[in-house]
Structure 1
């Protein structure tokens, strides 16, 4: 009985209950979006947008407007600027993204140190899952439900756009709307994860679940729900273990996702070698 009470101890505290709740909220949209980012090769775009929202947060604080508005505006500015520069220059898109997001991140740091704020930079960069406030739960819940709902309803359109934009356009799909819609979903999802894992670790939630599912399954439909299950399991387990390890939940979650990726990669290597041996024997 004493051991069971010790294992259930994290669920007795309100701050841990809020941490588990926001974990379940943001796990779904980040996992779904990660599948499209992995398939489309937009891993660096997720990194760029997650870093670029910092100046928007600081400017929103200075202007006295909700931080979510500044973060979303900065994220969309980064995404649109990247698209414009890559389309109107000889520089490749990944190079442009590196320049834009590092520049905006640097601007955010300069603005932060030049203005006196009550906001802790560590909480912005790494999240503050154990200090989530009710309004942050509402924000994360509404954004997560909106993004997840749109992705589930339109996943076939985005799948075709990710594989073959030309075929998507020939099929009558509005390619520009799909492109900027995915960027909008990315920016909104990063805003939803701000209070949970912060800017720097958000990229882990936006890439790792899709990458793990990609190694485990072959069908995209299956990849979506496998990524959601793995991401939610990792987030809940990481939050739970952090209580006993006396560590921050966000880095613990990322470490679990990294371990799952290594296991999935090793499994795929073993299956590939086994298949190669069978081909040689029957060849």
Structure 2
């Protein structure tokens, strides 16, 4: 509790809460819809926009957000084309986008003189440097995600559990899929300050995987995933401060530890 006397810790804990809610809302859909690989491609493609914005003197988020959304839409289009044509090469194309996005970002960063600590925080995370401006940006993004998910809860659940049934019901499956990918992109951008672009995929997927051990109901999975992400961020942040270690990697390792414990408990109960 002594740490709460410092403002930077209060901002960090508030950012952790926002991140946990975003993970809880989107993570279960990513897991059920099997979008983990696509989410990773979106995250790493965002580095291209982030590097370009930094190179030209803008806030990295200004470049990361549109780059992530554009890559999400392009990935959705590639996936649609692959399904329509029966192609088996969509994984290679998405993997190429992953690499190209990172390559573009690295080139822009390399062409920018000097070493910027803030930029490194976007790559590897720096929740302890979150301030009121960054927290406001994250909160607005979370509010948009929450509004869309609440309004389209039933269509999204139908899309994830049985796309063919959703199509037979007359739901715009393609549009819903694009919208879900855009929400994944926004979530990725919100989380990069917490654990960085390099590790953001684990924070989206591991809490949802823990939730899947304990429930198959989507509402319960959202609650479990939010709680799991919140616990991992809180414990990871406390350990990072106590040990003087980087917060992002410690949070991810805590997520992995929770997943390992949950897996072990489930298997022991099955014996």
TM (norm. structure 1) is 0.87
Aligned to 1:11: 4
Distance 2:220 2:207 in 1: 13
**Please, which of 209, 212, 221 is the counterpart of residue 211 of structure 1?**
209
Structure 1 unaligned regions, length at least 5: 1-7, 275-283
Aligned to 1:47: 40
SS at match of 1:247: coil
TM (norm. structure 2) is 0.91
**Please, which of 235, 238, 247 is the counterpart of residue 236 of structure 2?**
238
* 1:30-62 deviations in Å (ceiling 9; x for gaps): 222110011011111111111111110122233
8 Å Cα contact 1:10-1:243 kept in structure 2 = no
SS at match of 1:199: coil
Distance 1:16 1:167 in 2: 47
**Shift of the alpha carbon at 1:253?**
1.3
**Please, which of 246, 249, 268 is the counterpart of residue 247 of structure 2?**
249
8 Å Cα contact 1:23-1:232 kept in structure 2 = yes
8 Å Cα contact 2:69-2:186 kept in structure 1 = no
* Range with greater deviation from structure 2 (87-96 or 135-144): 87-96
Bigger radius of gyration, 1 or 2? Answer: 1
Distance 2:72 2:26 in 1: 16
Distance 2:14 2:114 in 1: 28
Task: Count matched residues.
Answer: 266
**Please, which of 101, 123, 145 is the counterpart of residue 121 of structure 2?**
123
SS at match of 1:231: helix
**Shift of the alpha carbon at 1:213?**
0.4
Distance 1:134 1:145 in 2: 16
Distance 2:216 2:160 in 1: 16
